[in-house]
Amino acid sequence: MTSAIDIEPTSRRIARNVILLIGDGMGEAHRFAGQLLAVGRDGRLAMDRLPVSGLMNTMCVDPTTFVTDSAAAATAIATGVKTINGCVAIDSHGRQQRTILELAKASGRSVGLISTCQITDATPAAFAAHVPHRADQSEVARQYIERVGVDVILGGGGAHWFPTGRALPAEMAGASHWRGIGADGDLVARARELGYEFVCDAASFQASLRRRRLEPGGPLLGLFAAQEFFVQTAEGLGAVYDPPVSLADLTSAAIDTLASNPNGFFLMVEESAIDRMAHQNNAPLTLKGVLELDRAVQVALAFASRSPDDTLIVVTADHECGGLAVAGSLDQPYPYEPGGGLLDTMLAGEDGPFPVAGTGYGFVLGWATTGHTAAPVPITAAGPGAERLSGSIENTDLFDALVVAMDLAEVAVASGCA
């Protein structure tokens, strides 16, 4: 097939490091609403200050729909091949596809995965596992540690790493007293056998980081919740997003750990609450998810500022969720337009008002659905190879751009990817 992998300019800079940040379900309206809340109409979130911008199409090749789920979307990004919903790094014919993380690992780079959801859920899974259905989370975990050797694994979903019925560590289980639901044995014990350090709360995590600053450590497995870092419901029904460790802190720790490799690293960071709360039309916690991601972007940018010539940062989404719209809460009607009147500024499923930072007025959010949509999602980037991500692109183009940016063409060809 013809792809950007085949284009090899001789004078270009190489991205030794790549940090890919994915806001699950985050469309243009989600980003704009986060901007209004945090920095106002004339401000910019960190993710929107990156110099290269574009729009990324998200359609899958599922024969029953054009709207993607996270598994198919992440597979397209991670492998450059579109697939059907539910499949993880496997194409529509059932063939496994080599991922960008696996190519980075084969090049000698260190690799990491972070998520505020189950670390074995669809989006991170598509970068380092191959399963026919995203529900096979214990098998995903096994492949992370046994097949790929992901160097840093940080997130939730600890229940999938312990055998069914096994009591989880108290720090992880919380008040709900979760037990293991895994189908592949004690994968935490297996990870330890393979040299992983295991941590499951903020205190042990910080202790590990302090030790690692003094001397190099091995691979790191951090599981901080039995499932997600949040409780997803509609507003007023017990929804909570109070992460045990912030996404920004996880990102900082992963970068510090991975950056010790002189060959560089690849890191995928997912903020999942945007999608899960949008599924519930929970606007306040959807916005919290956007701003949690933006703090992680700030961490990535701070690192890149110390290594600007060889670090590529990309911020995007796998798909849009909720059909979100943004309107002013005090807008005047437009009687001079056909059909104008008081109904002009009313939104279906309206949430708010929320304050616009630095002003005396607010904004409201309206939802079209509790599901995903096929709307294109924004993509912004900075660093070597970022220019390939401007304009209108397909989600599969992101894989090609990362292969070229990291100079992985020969590895990709050897793996049958080009």
Q: What is the CATH number of the domain that holds 201?
A: 3.40.720.10
Are 353 and 315 within one domain? Answer: no
Domain membership of residue 173 (yes or no) is: yes
Q: What is the pTM of this model?
A: 0.93
Cα separation, 404 vs 402, in Å, equals 5
Give the tens place of pLDDT for each residue, 337-371.
555 444 445 556 678 899 999 999 999 999 999 99
Are 354 and 392 within one domain? Answer: no
Are 356 and 241 within one domain? Answer: no
Domain membership of residue 130 (yes or no) is: yes
Are 262 and 342 within one domain? Answer: no
Check residue 22 and give its pLDDT. 98
Are 312 and 329 within one domain? Answer: no
Cα separation, 74 vs 88, in Å, equals 8
Question: Is the Cβ–Cβ distance between 186 and 163 less than 8 Å?
Answer: yes
Give the tens place of pLDDT for each residue, 282-295.
999 999 999 999 99
Question: Is the Cβ–Cβ distance between 386 and 86 less than 8 Å?
Answer: no
Check residue 6 and give its pLDDT. 42
Domain membership of residue 372 (yes or no) is: no
**Residues with pLDDT less than 50, the chain:** 1-10, 340-344
CA-nearest of 418, 412, 404, 396 to 15 is: 404
CA-nearest of 296, 288, 353 to 112 is: 296
Are 347 and 232 within one domain? Answer: no
Are 236 and 345 within one domain? Answer: no
Are 216 and 338 within one domain? Answer: no
Check residue 3 and give its pLDDT. 41
Check residue 352 and give its pLDDT. 87
Backbone φ and ψ of 312, nearest 5°: -105, 130
Domain membership of residue 293 (yes or no) is: yes
Check residue 10 and give its pLDDT. 44
Check residue 207 and give its pLDDT. 96
Domain membership of residue 371 (yes or no) is: no
Check residue 341 and give its pLDDT. 47
Are 389 and 360 within one domain? Answer: no
Question: Is the Cβ–Cβ distance between 252 and 209 less than 8 Å?
Answer: no
Domain boundaries, position 352: 325-366
Question: Which residues pair with residue 394 across a beta bridge?
Answer: 57
Q: What's the per-residue H, E or C state across the chain?
A: CCCHHHCCCCCCCCCCEEEEEEECCCCHHHHHHHHHHHCCCCCCCHHHCCCEEEEEECCCCCCCCCCCCHHHHHHHHHHCCCCCCCCECECCCCCECCCHHHHHHHCCCEEEEEEEEECCCHHHHHHHCCECCCCCHHHHHHHHHHHHCCCEEEEECHHHHCECCCECCHHHHHHHCCECCECCCCHHHHHHHCCCEEECCHHHHHHHHHHHHHCCCCCEEEECCCCCCEECCCCCCCCEECCCCCHHHHHHHHHHHHCCCCCCEEEEEEECHHHHHHHCCCHHHHHHHHHHHHHHHHHHHHHHHHCCCCEEEEEECCCEECCCEEEECCCCCCCCCCCCCHHHHCCCCCEEEEECCCCCCEEEEECCCCCEECCCEEEEEECCCHHHHCEEEEHHHHHHHHHHHCCCHHHHHHCCCC
Residues 6 or more apart whose CB falls under 8 angstroms from that of 372 comprise 25, 67, 68, 69, 319, 320, 321
Are 292 and 361 within one domain? Answer: no
Catalytic residue at 252?
A: no
Q: Which of 70, 138, 208, 272 is catalytic?
A: 70
**Is residue 8 exposed (0-12), middle (13-18) or buried (19+ Cβ within 10 Å)?**
exposed
Please count the structural domains in the chain.
2
Are 316 and 331 within one domain? Answer: no
Domain membership of residue 5 (yes or no) is: no
Domain membership of residue 387 (yes or no) is: yes
Are 398 and 346 within one domain? Answer: no
**Is residue 335 exposed (0-12), middle (13-18) or buried (19+ Cβ within 10 Å)?**
exposed
